[in-house]
Structure 1
Amino acid sequence: MTPDWTTLVQAEELAAALGRADLAVVDCRHSLADPDAGARDYSDGHVPGAVHADMDRDLSGTAPAGSGAGRHPWPDAAELCRRLGAWGISPRHQVVAYDAGDGAFAARLWFLLHTLGHRRVAVLDGGCARWCALGLPRESSVPVPVAVDFPAAAFDAVRLLDAPQVQAHLERGNLLLDARAGERFRGEVEPIDRVAGHVPGATSRPYADNLIDGRFKSAARLRTEFERALRGSGPADAAAMCGSGVTACHHLLAMTHAGLPGARLYTGSWSGWIEDPARPVAIGDA
């Protein structure tokens, strides 16, 4: 059995565990600018035995326009469980997710599984970039996993917020961390969504602030930084958002790694917020 990795795993540890029967590796590489890039990168070479998870088809659901679900709707739990089973992943597996480097996309799978109640899931710290830099093995062949049963499970609804719940969250004086780059938060640029700005009352903390040299900061340093942002509140009084509920999961992973589990996710995030033109929009630092 591999050790229980529940937040991050280092490349050296994963390399030593390859081939173990209870290990499942998932390649989550993705590009917002080119949705097919992740599949091409996977075909060019991936961690041995890894299956590929497409952000749009596998790690997101579908929702009607105007529903507030945003660009990457939170998926249906039963469908995700079926997908996991098709990948050969069962509740007994240690799952490791990775992306090109910073963990922004792999953290989405981490939080999906986490909210299903699957705790043995971790993100490869430094992703494919560090794996390759260390000269660790890659393969281009596509594994054919043996399908297993991943029993139907429900997401922990307490961890997931919609727009009205976010409004109530802010009215209680709670923390809403926006993981987008600062210039997007301030409304200076908006390369993806039709409206620039941020949710009034949100606080800017780009997810890149969780990293140093492409890897996560130490647990102790992250704890200090997030406790400063929480200003004496507990992590359950915090929520994270981003453009579409993907990179916000990086904050939830970082907080859990820092020993501050329990923060929530605004699933629709900015792209869901602006689906209703009546919702207020803020520009600038506050």
Structure 2
Amino acid sequence: MTASWTTLVDARTLAAALKRDDLAILDCRFSLAAPEAGPAAYAASHLPGALYAHLDRDLSDHRKQSGGRHPWPDATDFDARLGDWGITASHQVVAYDDGDGAFAARLWFLLRALGHERAAVLDGGWKHWTDLGLPTQTGVREVTRVARTERFDESRLLDAPQVQAHLARGGMLVDARGRERFRGEAEPIDRVAGHVPGAVNRPYADNLVDGRFKPREQLAREFRELLAAHAPGDVVAMCGSGVTACHHLLAMEHAGLPGAKLFTGSWSGWIEDPARPVAAGS
């Protein structure tokens, strides 16, 4: 039976499966400081058969005037993009980026929210793949466009008012940004520093060791300690713009704690309304 990967896939395991007809690989390398650095890196070299997914153009909808710095795309538009890539509901999708998995996790959760279970992130990403001397190529493979009509599970996607209601009910909000940004001591991107009152902080980098995800047993212990009495389904993850928060959703599902939700606009969406409260410190 053909193997299915639903959270992470090891580089050597993927390398052995490159000739699978049902495999679709998406390169998600991206730089917030230089948005075209990712496409340039892809053009120079990429995993065999990979296509490129751009955070701004493919995994976000910047036509929207609200929803944070990387507005969540509509299902119709994201379906169309997947169709352009020739990805059907039966494909095994693998996403990768430059190493920590944050951009690839965004694609992973977009697919998961569509109900696409056979999606995984390459553990260690491009750096680990090339460190192992595994094959790369240039050029773009031809694909046959397909029609798709999937819809997002809206129950896993929360906006700012829904997050406020979630917190009022005693739900848990986990902020994946670095500790200095959470405490309001530094804010290199957004116009307001601080965090959503009631949120707790776990930087997404805490999911990693040496550029790869920690063992699932260790992640399970750490997240259970963080969640305390909360069930995974009572957790909402956020970050600066709804990207690195997906790293927590991936890590939790890999640890056997599925069902957490995403604050799609995250901090940049929260501060769109100056009337919303802002907290500082830990």
TM-score normalised by the chain length of structure 2: 0.98
Q: Structure 1 CA distance, aligned partners of 2:276 and 2:200?
A: 17
Assess if the C-alpha contact under 8 Å between 2:56 and 2:62 holds in 1. no
Which amino acid is the alignment partner of residue 78 of structure 2? L
**1:2 touches 1:17 (CA, 8 Å); kept in 2?**
no
**Between 107-116 and 136-145, the greater mean CA deviation after superposition:** 136-145
| 1:144-223 paired onto structure 2 within 5 Å | 144-149=142-147, 151-223=148-220
Deviations 1:240-271 (A, max 9, x none): 00000001000000000000000000000000
Aligned length: 282
Check conservation: 2:68, 2:270, Cα contact below 8 A.
yes
What is the alpha-carbon distance in structure 1 between the residues aligned to residue 166 and residue 120 of structure 2? 28
Question: Structure 1: which amino acid aligns with 2:84?
Answer: A
CA distance in 2, matches of 1:241, 1:38: 24
Give the distance between the partners of 1:195 and 1:231, measured in 2 at CA.
30
Structure 2 residue runs of 5 or longer lacking an equivalent are: none
**Which position in structure 1 is the counterpart of 2:135?**
137
CA apart distance, 1:146: 1.9
The SS at the match of 1:105 is helix
Query: In the TM superposition, what whole-angstrom CA distance separates every residue of 1:188-231 from its partner, at most 9, and x where no partner exists?
Result: 11111111111111111000000011100111111111111111
Aligned counterparts of 2:135 and 2:208: Cα–Cα separation in 1: 25
Distance 1:50 1:165 in 2: 37
Q: 1:35 aligns to what SS in structure 2?
A: coil
- How many Å separate the matches in 2 of 1:115 and 1:64? 20
Q: CA deviation at 1:141?
A: 1.1
Shift of 1:2: 3.8
Q: Is the 8 A contact 1:88 1:145 kept in 2?
A: yes
Following the alignment from structure 2 to structure 1, what is the Cα–Cα distance between the partners of residues 2 and 37? 31
Matched residue type, 1:275: E
d(CA) in 1 for partners of 2:175, 2:34: 23
- AA aligned to 1:277 is P
Distance of aligned partners of 1:63 and 1:273 in 2 relative to their CA distance in 1, 3 Å threshold: farther
| Matching of residue 97 in structure 1 with residue 95 in structure 2 | yes
The aligned counterpart of 1:11 is 11
Q: 2:276 maps to what in 1?
A: 279
Q: Taking structure 1 as the reference length, what is the TM-score of the superposition?
A: 0.97
Counterpart in the other structure of 1:52: 52
Quick one: which amino acid aligns to residue 194 of structure 1? R
Q: Matches of 1:2 and 1:24 in 2, distance apart?
A: 14
- SS of the equivalent of 1:92 reads coil
**Structure 1 letter corresponding to 2:22:** D
Structure 1 unaligned residues grouped into runs of 5+: none
Cα-Cα RMSD: 1.0
**Could you tell me which residue of structure 2 aligns to residue 71 of structure 1?**
69
What's the CA shift string for 1:156-200, capped at 9, x where partnerless?
A: 011011111111111122211100111111111111111111111
Alignment match of 2:253 (pick from 248, 251, 256) = 256
- Conserved 8 A contact 1:175-1:202: yes
**CA displacement 1:55-80 (0-9 Å, x = unmatched):** 00000013543x3x001000010111
Distance in 2 between residues matched to 1:137 and 1:56, nearest whole Å: 28
Question: How many angstroms apart in 1 are the aligned matches of 2:277 and 2:202?
Answer: 20
Structure 1 distance, partners of 2:34, 2:201, is: 26
Q: Deviations over 1:55-107 (max 9, x none)?
A: 00000013543x3x001000010111111111111111000000000100000
**Residue 170 of structure 1: SS of its match in structure 2?**
helix
Query: Where does residue 128 of structure 1 map in the other structure?
Result: 126
Please, which of 230, 239, 245 is the counterpart of residue 227 of structure 2?
Answer: 230
1:115 paired residue among 113, 116, 131: 113
Task: Check whether the contact 2:105–2:246 (CA below 8 A) recurs between aligned residues.
Answer: yes
Indicate the percent of aligned positions where both proteins have the same amino acid: 66
User: Secondary structure in 2 aligned to 1:17?
Assistant: coil
Letter in 2 for 1:70: G
> Paired residue for 2:266?
269
